[in-house]
Amino acid sequence: MVLKLYEWYATGAYSLLQLVEKVKAELNTNLPKSNIAKILDDKFYIGIATYRKENLEYPHCYEKIVPDYLFNKVQEIKNGRTLWNGKGKYAGKVFYYRALVRCDVCGYSLSPEKHKGKNSYCCTEYGGKHGAKYVKEDILTGEYAKAFARLTLSKETAQKIIEDLKKANEDHLYVSTEFIGQLEKDKEKLRQRKSKLYDEYLDAGITKEFYEEKLKQYDKELARVNDKLASIEKVDKDFYTTAGYIIELAKHSAALFKRSEPEERKLLIQTVLLNVRWNGKKLLYDYAEPFNLLAEMNESPIWGV
């Protein structure tokens, strides 16, 4: 749970209140906002214990839960939001791409600020000076718009994808149904073996030690079968719901990006793009799956080639 909290917050797409809801929905746990805030600020998870009386920090002997880079990313976002929420120089100012772009030279995030009266971004150069220059927000907007324009599908292409996905759905349903049937048979077989084992134990046909050892083995096998059944259920749900979402997003991606509000724009960027960097001249990025395939197919002269 701790690692998930760090991973989710590090995307920059969630507030603490949104994390409360996400933990409840995905992990079936009620975790107050104050607890989440403490977790996201606790160095114990990166291997550092604190003696609060003396304000001393020292490495502990327990296993790390959170990688250092992830902890630092979370702190960077938290500090940025503190400034954003009225306690610093970003108060009252809307920057679309705060915490969304890294420097291609050193890897640190571009810091948003007003430069010559314009919303601009510049590398913090925390890792060392390398002559970083300001880039106007309008320029970044143009670069992002190009990235989303590459995804925009024509009506004909979108229809072709939908038809192919329908066929894939039919094949997937057949395979899933067949696989589920086999798993249910395995499940029933294990149940029968457990019942028979218990009868033999009651009839003194086997020792208590043998009974307990075999029971553990059957329980482990049964748990694996149940896990597989649960994962198929989740995959089926994802398979049927995600495809339509992706096609709709791709059909209107350029228009959605242009008219979106700051938080919506952030979520669009984080859904579609990975590893976004500014090299001083242009925006570099990778498409998240399956948008990388859509971009390639959309630019191919023949669909699917």
Looking at per-residue confidence, does 270 or 155 come out higher? 270
Query: For 272-276, what is the mean pLDDT?
Result: 90
Looking at per-residue confidence, does 181 or 2 come out higher? 2
Q: In terms of Cα–Cα distance, which of 71, 74, 83 is closest to 16? A: 74
Would you state the pLDDT for residue 80? 59
Query: For 160-164, what is the mean pLDDT?
Result: 70
What are the helix (H) ranges across the chain?
2-10, 16-27, 33-39, 68-82, 137-149, 155-202, 208-259, 262-272, 291-299
Q: Which of 114-118, 175-179, 278-282 comes out lowest in average pLDDT?
A: 175-179
117 close to 136: Cβ distance less than 8 angstroms? no
- Looking at this protein, which amino acid is placed at residue 142? G
Laid out side by side, the sheet with 135-136 consists of 110-115, 118-123, 135-136
Q: In terms of Cα–Cα distance, which of 149, 163, 168 is closest to 295? A: 149
114 close to 107: Cβ distance less than 8 angstroms? no
- Looking at this protein, which amino acid is placed at residue 265? R
Q: Does the pLDDT at position 44 exceed 90?
A: yes
- In degrees, rounded to 5, the angle at the alpha carbon of residue 95 between the alpha carbons of residues 92 and 101 is 145
**240-246: long-range contacts, CB 8 A cutoff, minimum separation 24:** 240/169, 243/165, 243/169, 246/290, 246/291, 246/294
Would you state the pLDDT for residue 133? 92
Q: Does the pLDDT at position 64 exceed 60?
A: yes
Indicate the pairing of strand 273-278 with strand 102-103: parallel
Helix, strand or coil, per DSSP, at residue 111: strand
Q: Which of 1-5, 135-139, 182-186 comes out lowest in average pLDDT?
A: 182-186
- Max mean pLDDT among 73-87, 122-136, 241-255 falls in 122-136
Could you read off the pLDDT of 98-127 as tens digits, one per residue?
888 999 998 888 988 888 889 999 998 887
Beta-bridge mates of residue 122: 111
Q: Distance between CA atoms of 282 and 223, rounded to whole angstroms?
A: 51
Q: Does the pLDDT at position 227 exceed 80?
A: no
Dihedral pair phi/psi, residue 130, rounded to 5°: -145, 25
Please give the structure tokens belonging to residue 56.
Answer: 């001393």
Q: Distance between CA atoms of 269 and 275, rounded to whole angstroms?
A: 11
Q: Distance between CA atoms of 31 and 202, rounded to whole angstroms?
A: 46
140 close to 101: Cβ distance less than 8 angstroms? yes
Beta-bridge mates of residue 109: 102
Q: Distance between CA atoms of 100 and 17, rounded to whole angstroms?
A: 20
161 C-beta neighbours (distance < 10 Å), count: 21
Q: In terms of Cα–Cα distance, which of 286, 15, 280 is closest to 132? A: 280
Indicate the pairing of strand 273-278 with strand 135-136: unpaired
Please give the structure tokens belonging to residue 151.
Answer: 């995804």
* pLDDT band at 187; cut points 50, 70, 90: confident
Would you state the pLDDT for residue 253? 77
Q: Distance between CA atoms of 35 and 3, rounded to whole angstroms?
A: 14
CATH placement of domain 1-92: 3.90.1750.20
Beta-bridge mates of residue 102: 109, 277
Q: What is the DSSP string of 123-143?
A: E--TT-------EEHHHHHHH
